[in-house]
Amino acid sequence: MTGAGSGIGKALVLGLLEKGAKIAAVDLHEDALKELVASVGDDAKKISIHVANISDKKGVNSLPAEVIKAQGNIDAIINCAGIIQPFVKVNDLDFEAIERVMNVNFYGTLYMVKAFLPELLKRPEGYIVNVSSMGGFLPVPGQSVYGASKAAVKLLTEALYAELKDTNINVSVVFPGATDTNITANSGVNAPAIEKNDAKQKEYPTLSADKAAAIIIKGIEKNKLQIFTGKDSRLMNVLYRLNPVYATNLIAKQMKSLLS
């Protein structure tokens, strides 16, 4: 499990522990992993921690052996780690930020899949879960490259589903809507100011990480290809399919004040 130290990833760890799972927790931040282990009491013995930068292909390639040594086998991977971009338009986004987002969100996911898939194919049954985003199917101004990276994760995962249909591997792609996590801080991005006098911008309802994780786990149990967390993600998926231009203009209007 990548991104296990915080947000949806941490909530998934806690939820899966309740189901009796053993977890190899992967995160860039060792302190967050240690805090996670310290918070679960007797379940700590079910967790192994692995500090890794998933955008480092060589480092990711060494993870399967580390996990097998710690846990004995690998039955599933959940790629939950991700970062957002600064809230600016493409014209104002520098290539360093672009490459960082693509390296973590897309290449990090791809490296994990490539590293672990051979091991999963050896198991009686395996599972790959990749976390995309509502922004992976709906364009969000000010998060254009983030959305592009998550759209790449979406199509990669759906293609994996098709390629692996006749194997022992199940595949799911997750589309979280607005979720209460610390992804903005973890991404090193300043949150845009919301105008206090704009009633439409005062509140952006968000789903808790715990509720998002519960929906994801239920979707995995039902072997769903697509898992949508949050009413906004489900609604916008339907709206974008019915009328993509209207949906795009709606999101653009909501984001306008954040980009001025």
| 33: CB partners within 8 A, 6+ apart | 4, 5, 25, 27, 49, 50, 51
Helix, strand, coil fractions of the chain, as percent rounded to 5: 55, 15, 30
Q: What is the pLDDT of residue 55?
A: 98
Segments of the chain scoring below 50 in pLDDT: 194-202
Task: Summarize pLDDT for 158-167 with one digit per residue, the tens.
Answer: 999 999 999 9
Q: What is the pLDDT of residue 196?
A: 42
Q: What distance in Å separates the CA atoms of residue 10 and residue 15, rounded to the nearest whole number?
A: 9
Q: What distance in Å separates the CA atoms of residue 80 and residue 64, rounded to the nearest whole number?
A: 17
Contact 233/173 with Cβ under 8 angstroms? no
Q: What distance in Å separates the CA atoms of residue 229 and residue 209, rounded to the nearest whole number?
A: 10
Retrieve residue 85's tokens. Answer: 């971009």
Q: What is the pLDDT of residue 185?
A: 81
184: enclosing H helix or E strand: helix 183-186
The CATH code of the domain that includes 96 is 3.40.50.720
Beta strands in the chain (DSSP E): 23-27, 47-51, 76-79, 126-131, 169-176, 179-180, 207-208, 226-229
Residue 219 lies in a domain: yes
Residue 217 lies in a domain: yes
Q: Which residues participate in catalysis according to the annotation?
A: 146
Number of domains into which the chain is organized: 1
Residue 235 lies in a domain: yes
Task: Summarize pLDDT for 205-256 with one digit per residue, the tens.
Answer: 789 999 999 999 999 999 999 999 999 999 999 999 999 999 999 999 988 8
Q: What is the pLDDT of residue 193?
A: 59
Closest CA to 8 of 132, 155, 143: 132
Provide the sign of the torsion angle of the four alpha carbons 140, 144, 149, 154, taken in this order: positive
- Find the domain containing 63 and state its range: 7-259
State pTM to two decimals.
0.93
| 70: CB partners within 8 A, 6+ apart | 24, 48, 50
Residue 1 lies in a domain: no
Beta pairing partners, 180: 208
